[in-house]
């Protein structure tokens, strides 16, 4: 079988630039797809961090960008990733976060920045690089969404297959309708079956409307986004296109996240030597100023502190958590209000609640290795990665029954416990009361050591790697190419 060529269009990619789960997916997929016979290259914007990491860079083309500045398309590699990089200093030579300026608000020219990015993706899709003519364009989130529109309105009939993936529907890329012409789109595009979204131009809307297939990162989230309460204004479109929408779970890098070899943790261990986790618990308690009590269950949290992740629910349930004799080990950063409240909680409950504000990969590993359970009280969660890491580390996930959390954790209900298949605790609805009830149940299970051990081992035996997801993406690409080839041969026959 000749390898299928896929261009992944991603505005961030781990380990070069990351603000969320999208970067993890974009960074992991190319490697995971290799054994599936897929040659995936990734187009990324030329942020300073990307240009600095690029090796063997080769200039493929140079041109004047949408806003007049000069731009170059480079090819190169970084961390084993084959990249195309849009080096457009006028758009991307800015330090810090890729989407917001130093004052915390969106860069005012985001429409032009990501339109330029999408335009280049579409041109590659139309065959501008003879050395790499993709069969499929895989578009990630709103930053890549307009690619589908540039292809659709290109006037060409031989188009590559397209997949639009939603990593988080909350980020939609909405811009004023007056930008239609400056962005190089025809008047006809400003319609319900084009890029128009509630009177504006929607970059994500363009992708969802015009891509050949839509995926999101869990089957449950694929269902939730079709419902009025959780569809964030897209439920109608997504319901109409539900036969072209599927959920494919994310995986994690099981080499980076491997308790048997992890250099960041105090003591390595595997499922057959779970007692070796104890040293990690002691180290974690020590580093966060928690009392050295080996019988007190430690509940870890590794999270952005934003409304989505339910930090307010956790604060409300904190009295019950402490009453149950559970210690809290929280690592997070985000909204100032939540940061302050957790800091205050750490002072009020010194020795029982340990808090570290900031982003810290090492401590994230140490929490997974040393905590007994991981709390994920998200209000919505497209897939979620922290609970996958927790499963792998024998840290029992206590999760809200939403999105990918409900698809990846087997709740310790009566039947699952009796069958010995549970891997965690789910709670619903997503309220402080039901989180508190889940904490009570978790504390009870923890003290009943045997059931807890079974849950830890089941979690560690769960396949959270990219193997299955990569297989699903590969078969989706092949299916779409087959369909595309058929559609084109029917068109030329007619």
Q: Which of 239, 359, 437, 457 binds ligand ADP (CB under 6 A)?
A: 359
Q: Judge contact between 148 and 139, C-beta under 8 A.
A: yes
Size of the site for ligand ADP (CB under 6 A): 16
Q: How far is the CB of 185 from ligand ADP (least distance, A)?
A: 30
Residue 376's nearest CA partner among 368, 391, 364, 387 is: 387
367 binds ligand ADP (CB under 6 A): no
Which of 208, 383 has the CB closer to ligand ADP?
A: 383
Query: Segment near ligand ADP (CB under 6 A), from 154-162, 184-192, 302-310, 424-432?
Result: 302-310
CA angle 303, 306, 309 (to 5 degrees): 55
333 binds ligand ADP (CB under 6 A): yes
* Subset of residues 46 to 75 that bind ligand ADP, contact rule: CB under 6 A: none
Which of 99, 359 has the CB closer to ligand ADP?
A: 359
Which SS3 state, helix, strand or coil, does residue 100 take?
Answer: strand
The two structure tokens encoding residue 239: 């319901």
Q: Which of 134, 145, 300, 332 binds ligand ADP (CB under 6 A)?
A: 332
How many CB atoms are located within 10 Å of the residue 263 CB?
Answer: 7
CA angle 342, 345, 348 (to 5 degrees): 155
How many CB atoms are located within 10 Å of the residue 351 CB?
Answer: 14
331 binds ligand ADP (CB under 6 A): yes
Q: What is the rounded distance in angstroms from the CA atom of residue 92 to the CA atom of residue 260?
A: 40
304 binds ligand ADP (CB under 6 A): yes
Q: Judge contact between 50 and 16, C-beta under 8 A.
A: yes
Q: Which of 5, 15, 20, 60 binds ligand ADP (CB under 6 A)?
A: 20
251, 253, 254, 256: CA torsion to nearest 10? -150
Q: How far is the CB of 356 from ligand ADP (least distance, A)?
A: 8
Task: Tell me the DSSP string of 332-370.
Answer: EEE-HHHHHHHHHHHHHTTTTEEEEES--HHHHHHHHHH
Query: Segment near ligand ADP (CB under 6 A), from 48-56, 96-104, 383-391, 432-440?
Result: 383-391
Q: Which of 202, 384, 403, 424 binds ligand ADP (CB under 6 A)?
A: 384
Q: How far is the CB of 222 from ligand ADP (least distance, A)?
A: 16
Q: Which of 143, 162, 215, 386 binds ligand ADP (CB under 6 A)?
A: 386
- Binding region for ligand ADP (CB under 6 A): 20-21, 302-304, 331-333, 359-361, 364, 383-386
């Amino acid at each position: 079988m000749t390898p299928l060529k896929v261009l992944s269009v991603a505005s961030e990619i781990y380990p070069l630039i990351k603000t969320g789960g999208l970067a993890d997916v974009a960074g992991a997929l190319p490697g995971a797809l290799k054994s599936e016979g897929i040659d995936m290259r990734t187009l990324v914007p030329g942020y300073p961090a990307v240009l600095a990491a690029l090796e063997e860079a080769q200039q493929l083309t140079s041109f004047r960008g949408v806003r007049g500045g000069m731009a170059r398309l480079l090819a190169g590699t970084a961390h084993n990733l084959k990249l195309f990089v849009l080096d457009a200093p006028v758009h991307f030579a800015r330090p810090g976060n890729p989407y917001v300026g130093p004052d915390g608000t969106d860069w005012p020219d985001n429409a032009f920045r990501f339109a330029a990015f999408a335009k280049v993706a579409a041109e590659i899709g139309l065959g501008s690089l003879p050395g790499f003519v993709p069969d499929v364009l895989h578009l990630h989130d709103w930053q890549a969404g307009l690619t589908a529109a540039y292809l659709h309105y290109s006037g060409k009939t031989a188009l590559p297959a397209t997949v639009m993936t939603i990593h988080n529907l909350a980020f939609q890329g909405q811009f004023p309708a007056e930008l239609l012409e400056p962005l190089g789109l025809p008047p006809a595009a400003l319609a319900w079956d084009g890029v128009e979204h509630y009177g504006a131009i929607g970059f994500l809307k363009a992708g969802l409307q015009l891509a050949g297939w839509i995926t999101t990162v869990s089957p449950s989230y694929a269902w939730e986004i079709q419902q009025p309460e959780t569809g964030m204004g897209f439920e109608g479109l997504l319901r109409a296109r539900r036969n072209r929408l599927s959920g494919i779970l994310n995986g994690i890098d099981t080499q980076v996240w491997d308790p048997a070899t992890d250099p960041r943790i105090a003591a390595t261990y595997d499922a057959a030597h779970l007692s070796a986790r104890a040293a990690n618990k002691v180290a974690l308690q020590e580093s966060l100023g928690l009392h050295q009590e080996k019988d007190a269950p430690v509940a870890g949290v590794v999270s952005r502190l934003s409304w989505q992740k339910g930090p307010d629910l956790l604060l409300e349930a904190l009295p019950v958590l402490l009453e149950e004799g559970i210690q809290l080990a929280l690592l997070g950063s985000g909204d100032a209000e939540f940061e302050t409240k957790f800091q205050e909680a750490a002072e009020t409950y010194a020795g029982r609640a340990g808090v570290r504000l900031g982003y810290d990969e090492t401590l994230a590993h140490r929490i997974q290795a040393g905590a007994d359970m991981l709390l994920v009280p998200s209000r919505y969660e497209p897939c979620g990665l922290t609970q996958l890491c927790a499963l792998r580390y024998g840290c029992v996930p206590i999760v809200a029954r939403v999105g990918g959390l409900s698809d990846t954790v087997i709740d310790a209900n009566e039947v699952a416990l009796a069958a010995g298949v549970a891997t965690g605790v789910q709670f619903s609805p997503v309220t402080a009361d039901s989180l508190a009830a889940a904490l009570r149940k978790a504390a009870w299970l923890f003290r009943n050591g045997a059931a807890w051990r079974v849950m830890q081992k089941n979690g560690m035996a769960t396949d959270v790697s990219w193997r299955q997801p990569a297989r699903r993406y590969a078969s989706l690409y092949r299916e779409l190419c087959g369909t595309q080839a058929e559609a084109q041969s029917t068109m030329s026959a007619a």
